[in-house]
Structure 1
Amino acid sequence: MPARWRACSPEPAPVPSAGSGVPSQGPAGKARGAQHGTIPEEGDSAMLPNVMTLTALLALAAGNAAAMDDVALARAVDARLSGDRTGACFAVAVIERERVARTYRCADGTATPRIGADSAFEIGSVSKTMTAALLAQLIAEGNGSLDDPLADWLPAGTVVPAFEGRPILLRHVVTHTSGLPALPARMQVSNPADPYASVTPAALLASLGDVTLQRAPGTQFEYSNFASMLLSYAVAQRAGQPFEALLREQLFAPLGMTHAYIAQPPGGVRPTTGHLPNGNPTAAWTIPGDLAGVGGVRATLDDMVRYTQAQLGLIEVPAAVRAALEATQQPVSEQPPMAMNWMLAPLAGRRVWVHEGGTGGFSSLVGFDPANGRGVVVLSDTALTALGGLGSLGAHLLDASVPVGKPRKVATPPAEVLDGLVGSWQLAGGMRVELARKGDTLTIHPAGQPVFELGYDDFGDFYPLQFDALLSPKQASDGRWTFVWLQGGGAMPATRVDDGAQAGQARLDDATLAAYAGDYTLMPGFVLKVDAADGRLRAQATGQGAFPLDATGTDRFEAAAFGIELRFQRGADGQVNALELHQGGRVMRGARG
């Protein structure tokens, strides 16, 4: 997961990746307005491809999982966190067969710790794996099947879309292949800092009637919190209990998760204050009632240790609960590889089970490696989704051969980057903004809004000092600069208003484009599909959105906004038979299928 193991968080927009990680699963979807909003108040967000993902890092890992104590764990966390400009604090545990190492660390190691053993964190979309466990118990009791149509689990008369007679099944919901959009059309976001607070079951169900499926369910991954809210509601209705009561009775109590909750905190627990990545505190999220299985659980580090130990079979739990957890771990889909709301990622010849989560002020990660009896929990009191999440640290703690990642520190931007970005820009589907130079930094002026000053960090990204967003510069092969704006879970490529370069891109003939079309397997379960659209090549990686490519030379194409270059290779017969994908200094090669 550095940028994506995730099948992610309940954020109200597709979540981009900013580091290395697993294929972008794009959490949540999209909603108008931005969290703590300024800037993208118009239009929809575009998914940012990040094909150089943690899947690649894990596949190359050598399988090094040394035993770890509290001191060694603190040292590893400090390597990732110490001095990070976000000021984040992490609660981290590494679970092994014989022991558990724990640590609570903050970016500012001299500050008074603001988290501890009694701190309850929002775990975001990791909650979805718990909803899956409740579903598995209902199925085991004879109350349904993964092959049931979703419509059978919803109130009579609910209009549920189908595609050419093919219904949405529960297996499509737990693998994010339902074809439903990220969020319901009738979701009203009255407070961007608490976007789910006003969602009602009536609006959720009515939104199904607004959907026309574009493809058959089960054919394409598209992360949908809409579908996950429907599942949460359906599980509670089928069980005949409120969702929180059901979760407490069927999972929290049997696993000894004594401080986990949704809306009713037990005694002895301290709700943690969440933070934006600029260090400012932010409001907790409210996900009402029976919809909370999409991402509403709060838990302490020890609660999540118990949950992970149970997944690994390291603690005694009731047989029915154990069977349900085992059922959620069984593969359900291979494109991308998923169990029931668990992502399946390769690690040194094995598979690990993993899920990341995020809310407006928190990030989380749970992963486990059954072959080695090892698990990891990382809980952050700061939202880090737009900055790459917690994947690099989580992967490193599962296998030390994966780089731990490093903190983001304040830096001075190069003059050529500043000069290259100055000018007028149009955000994809959003508004016009003006970038201007102010000494050794930039300011951004969104149309109709105040001017905001941008900071800069040593990852090469700019960030507003007053609110949560990221401006990630990209340099094209011809030296021109552009950028992607990341905010509220959305990724919006920018087009320079005054150069018209994108509109003037040459269109290639159909025969030329057809020579490159095909499926290129970059690694098992991770395929780059190349085809043509409107006279240009486009590419789509497993579990990610499609992106256009522009020709830059013989057999070379690029998506400059995402820092991606494709170099096609030809065999002795002159036909294209493979490609190399270059991104962020890494190269992946795939043969044409």
Structure 2
Amino acid sequence: MARTLRYSLIAAALYAGSATAMTNDQLQHVLEQRLRGDRTGACVAAAVIEGKQVARARVCADPADDRRIDEHSAFEIGSVSKTMTAALLAQLIEQGKASLDDPLSSWLPSGTNVPDFNGQPILLRHIVTHTSGLPGLPPRMQIRHPDNPYADLDESTVLTSLADVKLNAVPGTHFEYSNFAMMVLSDAVARRYGKDMDSLLRQHLFEPLGMRSAYLDKAPDGVKAAAGHLPNGKTTAAWTIPTNLAGVGGVHATLDDMVRYVQGELGLLDTPLTPALKLTQQPVSQSSGKAMGMNWMLVPHQSPHSLVIHGGGTGGFSSFVGFDPDKQRGVVLLSDTALNSMDGLGKGLGMHLLDPAEPLGSPRKPATPTDALLDGLAGEYVFANGMHISLRHRHSGLTAQVPGQPEFEMGYDSAGDFYPLQLDALLHPQRDAKGRYSFVWTQGGGAFSAERVDSSKSVASLAPNSTQLQAYTGDYSLAPGFVISITSDGHQLYAQATGQPRVVLKAVAADTFKFEVVAAEIDFERKENKVVALTLVQNGVRHHAEKH
């Protein structure tokens, strides 16, 4: 924690509050602090846009790999592509040819069976805010090649999958991130324009913004596709997504392309696209604590302002785009390594570059777990879907095995997490209600809690009484404009961060509680037996907050 704080203060001293924009050397310095020695082996290309000034830098975890990417390297930007699909839709809205209140069914071929909830239809606004109620992936999608999951998908499978969905709530009421919904919209937008998505993006976005190297299907002359990597340094297959579905995550772009994109979003380019791009940034909905524009996530920051962000990831790449329209500051991060299990590039590095007051984080370096931790984790576990997994203490490390599959070795890093050596996933140890270990497994954008097969799920033995719970209640400031409110109903403790829903906290030790829905813990601090502060522990980073 002290090292992370020191790095943040050094970086802040370099450029925060300065009358001049960040320089290439200063950005290089920040990247090196965060990445050098990181066990993922990732290479990152970064840019910070401040008005008309742009700082650029490239850093790899291993200096020997520094030539792995250059200014001509095109990266898979993953889900940041969704914001570009939104820009195409916004142009139609600006022309009076579309509305966010159009039913999705009116954009699809006649006879397409689109689900509704008691007669209440899915509207376009529900698609671009991930509140449609559609699941993450099409029910009829078959993944024959896990390293290239969309390769065998087609438009017909996506559209016919709609008939298999039963909505569980009124569209617009619950946030559930859905690649399925955005594949439907990508195809619908292409149909409405009467052109394939490759032509659409090139003619209506890339060319007007000067994104000369960006593409869907074929790299322009002089542009080379970067090789994607797993977080073990090994290369992995590129993703191929059918052209008209590729608005979900199929765009390739260089760092300079994405700089032009952010400059367009900030209104710094002389382009007729400015009104449409600005439209995508306007609030459309807030559901389940998620404020959304058109595929942009709006993060409260220094109220009443918001940051506009989106991250992306594929099997071998990670990306982050964020900007502060009020301060005319933007950040682009592109990596040739899948970092999805570690929350990608936004948490830590991306947010720190947007606001130096945010913690930078430090490299995840290989570490050695204690025998006590290994012995504590060893055992049989089950996930909510019924899948079992065995953890074993082998020699000085941990192995994991799913029934019917080979046993695989886990590494351990300085953030306190275990990770498979052959894929992008994370095992975050947690303590259960009796002080024994359990864990959360993170993979593919989801977090899955595991419970010991032989453990009791009761927390009664640790449950504080109403008087003890009341001692924790109050507001704790993590950052300006960002507060965690701790409340109690006399039986249960709850946490609610600014702009987010209230979640249940479960006691795991004296003054220590874990979140029910995310891999995080809160450690309360006392002075003269009064609770005076808390520390939020998440993804290996500790955030201290004083009680008001």
Deviation at 1:581, TM superposition (A): 8.9
Partner of 2:310: 355
Paired amino acid for 2:519: F
| Residues 161-217 of structure 1 deviation map (CA, whole Å, 9 limit, x = unaligned) | 111222111111111111111111111111111111122111111111111111111
Q: Counterparts of 1:164-563 in structure 2 under 5 Å?
A: 164-317=118-271, 319=272, 321-334=273-286, 335-349=289-303, 350-391=305-346, 392-476=348-432, 478-498=434-454, 500-502=455-457, 550=506, 558-559=514-515, 562-563=519-520
How far apart, in 1, do the equivalents of 2:298 and 2:144 lie?
Answer: 36
8 Å CA contact 1:82–1:407 kept in 2: the answer is: yes
| Residues 283-326 of structure 1 deviation map (CA, whole Å, 9 limit, x = unaligned) | 01111021100000000001001111111121222x2x121111
Paired amino acid for 2:54: V
Deviation at 1:468, TM superposition (A): 2.9
| Structure 1 pair 563–402 and aligned structure 2 pair: CA distance change class (3 A) | closer
Partner of 1:4: none
1:470 is paired with a residue of what secondary structure? strand
Deviation at 1:440, TM superposition (A): 2.1
Stretches of structure 1 that go unaligned for 5 or more consecutive residues are: 1-19, 21-61, 568-578
Paired amino acid for 2:248: V
8 Å CA contact 1:63–1:401 kept in 2: the answer is: no
How far apart, in 2, do the equivalents of 1:556 and 1:562 lie?
Answer: 14
Deviation at 1:343, TM superposition (A): 0.9
Paired amino acid for 2:50: E
1:564 correspondence with 2:518? no
8 Å CA contact 1:442–1:454 kept in 2: the answer is: yes
How far apart, in 1, do the equivalents of 2:126 and 2:484 lie?
Answer: 20
How far apart, in 1, do the equivalents of 2:392 and 2:278 lie?
Answer: 55
Partner of 1:150: 104
Paired amino acid for 2:215: Y
How far apart, in 1, do the equivalents of 2:79 and 2:112 lie?
Answer: 26
Deviation at 1:486, TM superposition (A): 2.1
Deviation at 1:438, TM superposition (A): 2.2
| Structure 1 pair 540–234 and aligned structure 2 pair: CA distance change class (3 A) | farther
| Structure 1 pair 250–559 and aligned structure 2 pair: CA distance change class (3 A) | closer
Deviation at 1:482, TM superposition (A): 1.2
How far apart, in 1, do the equivalents of 2:536 and 2:223 lie?
Answer: 47
| Residues 230-265 of structure 1 deviation map (CA, whole Å, 9 limit, x = unaligned) | 111111111111011011000001111111001121
Alignment counterpart, residue 160 of structure 1, candidates 110, 114, 129 = 114
Deviation at 1:527, TM superposition (A): 9.1
How far apart, in 2, do the equivalents of 1:376 and 1:557 lie?
Answer: 34
| Structure 1 pair 280–213 and aligned structure 2 pair: CA distance change class (3 A) | same
Percentage of matched positions with identical amino acids: 54
How far apart, in 2, do the equivalents of 1:552 and 1:282 lie?
Answer: 39
With 173-182 and 471-480 compared, the bigger mean Cα shift is at 471-480
1:378 is paired with a residue of what secondary structure? strand
| Residues 53-77 of structure 1 deviation map (CA, whole Å, 9 limit, x = unaligned) | xxxxxxxxx9889621111110011
Deviation at 1:559, TM superposition (A): 4.1
Deviation at 1:226, TM superposition (A): 1.0
Deviation at 1:467, TM superposition (A): 3.0
8 Å CA contact 2:298–2:306 kept in 1: the answer is: yes
How far apart, in 1, do the equivalents of 2:510 and 2:394 lie?
Answer: 40
Q: Which has the higher contact order (CA 8 A, sep 6+)?
A: 1
8 Å CA contact 1:221–1:544 kept in 2: the answer is: no
| Structure 1 pair 566–69 and aligned structure 2 pair: CA distance change class (3 A) | closer
Stretches of structure 2 that go unaligned for 5 or more consecutive residues are: 5-15, 525-532
Paired amino acid for 1:250: H
2:164 is paired with a residue of what secondary structure? coil
How far apart, in 1, do the equivalents of 2:352 and 2:27 lie?
Answer: 11
Deviation at 1:545, TM superposition (A): 9.6
How far apart, in 1, do the equivalents of 2:335 and 2:19 lie?
Answer: 23
Deviation at 1:425, TM superposition (A): 1.8
| Structure 1 pair 363–105 and aligned structure 2 pair: CA distance change class (3 A) | same
How far apart, in 2, do the equivalents of 1:463 and 1:164 lie?
Answer: 44
| Structure 1 pair 130–65 and aligned structure 2 pair: CA distance change class (3 A) | farther
| Structure 1 pair 65–381 and aligned structure 2 pair: CA distance change class (3 A) | farther
Paired amino acid for 2:367: A
How far apart, in 2, do the equivalents of 1:556 and 1:411 lie?
Answer: 25
Q: TM-score, normalised by structure 2?
A: 0.84
| Structure 1 pair 546–223 and aligned structure 2 pair: CA distance change class (3 A) | farther
Deviation at 1:268, TM superposition (A): 0.8
How far apart, in 2, do the equivalents of 1:73 and 1:554 lie?
Answer: 42
Q: TM-score, normalised by structure 1?
A: 0.78
Deviation at 1:394, TM superposition (A): 1.3
Partner of 1:23: none
1:110 is paired with a residue of what secondary structure? helix
With 557-566 and 236-245 compared, the bigger mean Cα shift is at 557-566
Paired amino acid for 1:143: K
Deviation at 1:423, TM superposition (A): 1.6
